[in-house]
Amino acid sequence: MNQLPRSRVFVSLGSNLGDRLSALTAAREALAALPATAVVAASRIYETAPQDHDAQPEFLNQVLCLETGLQPHDLLVECRRIENEHGRERGLRFGPRTLDVDILLFQDVESEQPELTLPHPRMLRRAFVLVPLAEIWDSARGMPDLHIAALAQTAVQDQAIRPYDVPEA
């Protein structure tokens, strides 16, 4: 049986409403359950101050490396479905949310479509993306030549981010 080619993809997860940790866990499980998709690596979970709109709760963030046979647009549709299933409401841009699932990078793909810009247009300015991404960057394949660790070091100079202590079950 022929297998479809699989691509490496980096995805960020974020939540600052409700049970934030459960939302990230559910998103990881839902992404892993997608057809022809597996989680290759997962960063630690980080707690971060909100950006753009300060008057909201702190976020939990994580970055995953996936390997998938899905095409970029199909993965985007699935990411939005997962967000919606977890109560995501699209109101205030950069406002509070139960779950945010963003495609950051997709192997060998660049896109300037309004619905899906790749690489993600704001990822290189966000410590909550760069720090966890740097943690699992050795899983990268077919990605732009980016110095993620150096970018992360620069971003943390003016953006609060700290590892989140996951409570033991």
Listed in order, strand segments (DSSP E) in 3-160 are: 7-15, 37-42, 46-48, 59-68, 100-106, 111-112, 117-118
Tell me the C-alpha distance between 109 and 84, whole Å: 25
88 is annotated as an active-site residue: yes
Annotation marks residue 141 as catalytic: no
Strand, coil or helix: what is 93? coil
Indicate which residue of 20, 28, 100, 126 is catalytic. Answer: 100
54 is catalytic: no
Q: Tell me which of 6, 44, 81, 102 is the catalytic residue.
A: 102
d(CA 1, CA 134): 36
Kindly name the residue from 97, 125, 141, 162 that is annotated as catalytic.
Answer: 97
HSE (side-chain half, CA atoms, 13 Å) at 51: 18
- Mind telling me the catalytic residues? 88, 97, 100, 102
